Structure 1
Amino acid sequence: MSAMVMGPAMPNLVLARANVRAAGTRLATVRAPQQPARSAAHLRLTARGRAVLWVLAAAVAAVVTLFASQASADGPVGAQEVERHVVQSGETLWQIAESVAAPSQDVRDVVLDLVRLNELPDAGLMAGQVIVVPVD
């Protein structure tokens, strides 16, 4: 049998060659795998790479500054002025909405606003019911 060399140790390789020569057989040289020249921990940037990173950082900072300067908060919303309205017999929410709607407003939108404002389950009203309507 021939001797087998394992591992990257050089003295073992020399010793194995000597043993094989004495036995009169040939030995194939086994080489250890090459180690990478640099590990990821020792990564270095070139001057060009550093310049590119600085330009990218400046561009990101400029974009963030541009969008941040356009952001603005609205002030507190003023309370809507309302008055109480007692529903008369036969009066509908549509009729009430027509009476308080501005000329350019859609009456359907005013009906929805009245339903939301009074927290009504639907658009049905009962005589004597008190609702609030916005004042013009």
Structure 2
Amino acid sequence: MMMTNLSTYKSIYNDTVKIEPVKQKKVLSGKGFYKKVVMSTVILMILFTCFKLIGTNATTNSSAEPQAGEQIIVVQSGDTLWSIAKQYIDESDDVRYMIFKIQSRNVLQSSHIVPGQKLIIPNLKS
């Protein structure tokens, strides 16, 4: 077994390479450390607030009151716009048109609905 000096290393090509010892970084402490912690916290709070505001605006519902002939329903677990629209049309009506009307009336950006959400069901006859 061959012992080597920690400061030098002999390569397979018979060249001696000097290995520099690894310099350890100072542990952050004092003013620099606290500035970084405070800045990181402020940035995280700003990002969190922005995402909350975006999420809040994305899920707002129409606060308009139903007009004559319209109904308010509460979405149940397992409901889809298709199943809801199908309940409120005649056989001669198109389900896709009713889905469009429900989305328009409730200012829905997509067909995604959640249990507990209130929807205004428009009357197709008017």
The two structures have a TM-score, normalised by structure 1, of 0.40
Larger proportion of helix: 1
The two structures have a TM-score, normalised by structure 2, of 0.43
Which of structures 1 and 2 has the bigger CA Rg?
1
